[in-house]
């Protein structure tokens, strides 16, 4: 199992590299941007009220790991999956006595 490092535990160079990765993924998948082939991304990052959404760092790292797994093969030939888990019990819902 891979445990991602918290942003507070990263050095400045690692934070800068992560920020660049987040910006790159956001640019490639957002419907706001059009690539050289005149194609838009598939993720709507602005909601119906005009509020900008942002990917969390852990989401980008997980997506990058999945995309780079067996990256020399065609997508249809890859045998890759990703299960993202987190420790339970840290949410806002608490049982009442």
**pLDDT per residue as tens, the chain (97 positions):** 567 788 888 999 999 999 999 998 888 888 887 778 888 888 888 888 888 888 888 888 888 887 787 778 887 787 777 666 656 655 544 443 4
Q: Are 58 and 72 in contact (CB under 8 A)?
A: no
Nearest to 55 by CA among 20, 16, 26, 78: 26
Give the domain ranges of the chain.
8-77
- Cα gap 72→81, rounded to integer Å: 16
pTM of the model: 0.65
Nearest to 61 by CA among 27, 91, 10, 19: 19
Tell me 83's DSSP state. -
């Amino acid at each position: 199992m891979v445990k991602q490092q918290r942003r507070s535990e990263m050095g400045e160079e690692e934070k800068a590299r992560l920020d660049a990765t987040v910006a790159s993924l956001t640019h490639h998948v957002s419907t706001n941007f059009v690539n050289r082939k005149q194609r838009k991304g598939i993720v709507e990052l602005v909601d119906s009220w005009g509020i900008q959404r942002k990917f969390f760092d852990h989401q980008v790292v997980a997506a990058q790991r999945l995309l780079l797994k067996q990256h020399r093969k065609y997508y249809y030939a890859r045998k890759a999956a990703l299960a993202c888990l987190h420790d339970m019990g840290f949410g806002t819902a608490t049982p009442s006595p």
